Amino acid sequence: MTLKEMDQTYILHSYARNYVNFKKGKNATVFDEEGKDYIDFTSGIGVVSVGHANERVANAICKSAKNIIHISNLYLIEPQAILAKKLVERSGYDMRCFFANSGAEANEGAIKIARKYGEVEGEPKRYKIITLENSFHGRTITALKATGQEKMHNYFGPFPDGFVYAKDIDQIPSLCDEKTIAVMIELIQGEGGVEPQEKQKVKELEKFLKEKDILLIIDEVQTGIFRTGELLASNLYEIEPDIITLAKGLGGGVPIGAIMTNLKDIFKPGDHGSTFGGNYLVTSAANEVLDILQEEKDSGRLDERFIYFEEKTKALAKKFNSIVLKEVGIGFMRGLRIKDGDILSSLINEAFKNGVLVLKAGRNTLRFLPPLTITKDEIDKGFERLTEVFKKVAS
């Protein structure tokens, strides 16, 4: 039985896979079993933030594995406490942290925090949470209901109630009522099409919510951990949320999620928990990831890569303006709006054949989420290959 046959026989068919067997990686390049190299402009959907096979992260994981991989959260976990301190101090927010295993879990926890706050703080009891129609917050039942894309709700109901969807940020204030406890948004919608929110509108929304004692939850599962240039996109937007959720790039490849909140005493023992969340192994890795990326930011190398990559995407958009509508995004969360979905599918398929990994976002966006440590040589090679792909598809 071939590997493909095993996958098709024994794995639930939840993914439209490309049947390639990657055997190793180095920074932003991965190699299949035949030795063919691919420039990875996806970083595992925004996860491999410091590149594949990062030696410092590997050493941190190995060191932890040789000592302690896991004990329960019933005991003190040294790297977890250190990670929380780094996140809080480097973010500039007066918060506490809870660690989970994924972005969906982090968002579930954020919803629980908001709902408890709405239950214990005053009358009437408040439970409604407003999200945006084109949002994405995860695939567990409650996070899926928080996701404002109706197509994703098929088959999986009944759902928890209390979620309201706004068309855009401008509509949110008019949807707030006496039962509203929180607003949950992404500052740049990832799955929704690499769609940045307008900074001034976000700041105006923050002011309105604080006046109404409505919590502001910022889903930074994709935007966080320097992907937009700052530790958090919330820093970039100059706001102070009540709750922030993180995952993806925080662990550099190991599964970790995090909640940060200024409601520092909202949970009591037993209110929330996680068997694996924030264990020795993942927080050891995450500490190393944060240190690496802080060094890249402080040295100016990260911003140099952002500028270089943005120049390349804009040049590609300009050269092939017959099929590219515009270039969008911030930092290493970028995209090209493509003329239609069929052209986008062709671009993604041909890019894969030509040794470049790229993503789809929304209906018609070619999405780039490269490792934050990608080199100029890797950027050059990736865009050389993409240029060939665009020539072929546009002709």
Q: What is the mean pLDDT of the chain?
A: 96
Whether the predicted pLDDT of 193 surpasses 90: no
Alpha-carbon separation of residue 271 from 123, 140, 251 (angstroms) = 21, 19, 25
Structure tokens, 123 = 């009358």
Q: What is the DSSP letter of 266?
A: -
Residues 6+ away with beta carbon under 8 Å from 369? 41, 42, 43, 45, 46, 222, 227, 332, 333, 359
Alpha-carbon separation of residue 270 from 74, 204, 274 (angstroms) = 11, 36, 11
Give the pLDDT confidence score for residue 45 in this predicted structure.
96
Degrees, nearest 5: CA angle 239-161-197? 25
Give the pLDDT confidence score for residue 363 in this predicted structure.
84
Banded model confidence at residue 367, pLDDT cuts 50, 70, 90: very high
For the segment 119-131, the average pLDDT, to the nearest whole number, is: 93
Give the pLDDT confidence score for residue 329 in this predicted structure.
95
Whether the predicted pLDDT of 32 surpasses 90: yes
Query: What fold is seen in the domain 56-298?
Result: Aspartate Aminotransferase; domain 2 (3.40.640)
Instruction: Find where tokens 């934050």 sit.
Output: 372
Banded model confidence at residue 362, pLDDT cuts 50, 70, 90: confident
Whether the predicted pLDDT of 275 surpasses 90: yes
**For the chain, domain boundaries:** 56-298, 300-327+349-360
Degrees, nearest 5: CA angle 133-135-137? 135
Contact predicate 363/193, CB 8 Å: yes
* 149-157: Cβ within 8 A, 24+ apart: 149/192
Q: Model pTM? A: 0.96
Percent of the chain with pLDDT over 90: 95
Banded model confidence at residue 228, pLDDT cuts 50, 70, 90: very high
For the segment 119-126, the average pLDDT, to the nearest whole number, is: 89
